[in-house]
């Protein structure tokens, strides 16, 4: 399931994520695509795994958010996929 959240702190969103966390749900969110270190929610909540993007050289993608609040990075550019399009990747 894909959920798009707001990028600023929301008490209501935090309560919902805390509720899910209390049932041992794994909470994962993108760190954001603004190329800055400003907290991006829901990724910046303490109980959410914040994921930034890397490029084909395994360096930080030029657009990816960063900071000590980011937990992990994963490939984010030219991801090969089984989806059909002209370039064979997303």
State the pLDDT at residue 84. 65
List the Cα angle 24/51/16 in 5-degree steps.
Answer: 40
Distance of CA 57 to the CA centre of its chain: 19
State residue 25's pLDDT score.
97
pLDDT per position as a tens digit, 48-79: 999 999 998 999 999 999 999 999 999 998 87
| More confident site: 82 or 53 | 53
Backbone angles phi, psi at 29, to 5 degrees: -145, 150
* pTM metric for this prediction: 0.80
- Of 36, 77, 87, the C-alpha closest to 55 is 77
DSSP states of 51-72: EEEE-TTSSBPTT---STT--E
């Amino acid at each position: 399931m894909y959920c798009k959240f707001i990028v600023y702190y929301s008490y209501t969103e935090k309560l919902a994520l805390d509720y899910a966390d209390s049932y041992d749900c794994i909470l994962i969110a993108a760190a954001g695509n603004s190329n800055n270190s400003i907290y991006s929610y829901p990724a910046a909540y303490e109980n959410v795994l914040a994921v930034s993007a890397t490029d084909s050289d395994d360096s930080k993608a030029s657009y990816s958010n960063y900071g000590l609040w980011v937990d992990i990075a994963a490939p984010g550019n030219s991801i090969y996929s089984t989806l059909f399009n002209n370039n064979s990747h997303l």
